Amino acid sequence: MIYVKVYRRGAEVLVAACDEGLLGRKFREGDLVLWAKESFYRGDLVTKGELVTLLKGCTIANLLGEEAVEAGIEAGVVDEENVIVVQGIPHAQFALL
């Protein structure tokens, strides 16, 4: 399961998604730090399929973890080559410009 929180401001829709087991943890590698901050990511628990649907309708996404990033790839908003990995944890961001 994946935690998903949706933020809306005007026409912008941001989807923040984090694999359930990563919530609250920090990952560091060199200068890179990923923090699965509960206040940002904790929302509804959804399946990967539900996240794919949400991602197809958003303008911005922040995805942390294998399932969340896989959903971004499935939804067509993330290219595999643009995924970073910090301490073995994949992360991707997306923005419609």
Q: What is the pLDDT of residue 77?
A: 96
pLDDT digits (tens, 9 = 90+) for 40-75: 999 999 999 999 999 999 999 999 999 999 999 999
Q: What is the pLDDT of residue 70?
A: 98
d(CA 65, CA 73): 12
Q: What is the domain extent for residue 84?
A: 2-95
Does the pLDDT value for residue 97 go beyond 90?
no
Going by pLDDT thresholds of 50, 70 and 90, the confidence category of residue 18 is very high
The secondary structure element, H or E, covering residue 35 is strand 32-35
The CATH number of whichever domain residue 53 belongs to comes to 3.30.1860.10
Provide the domain count of the chain. Answer: 1
pLDDT digits (tens, 9 = 90+) for 21-34: 999 999 999 999 99
CB 44 within 8 A of CB 89: no
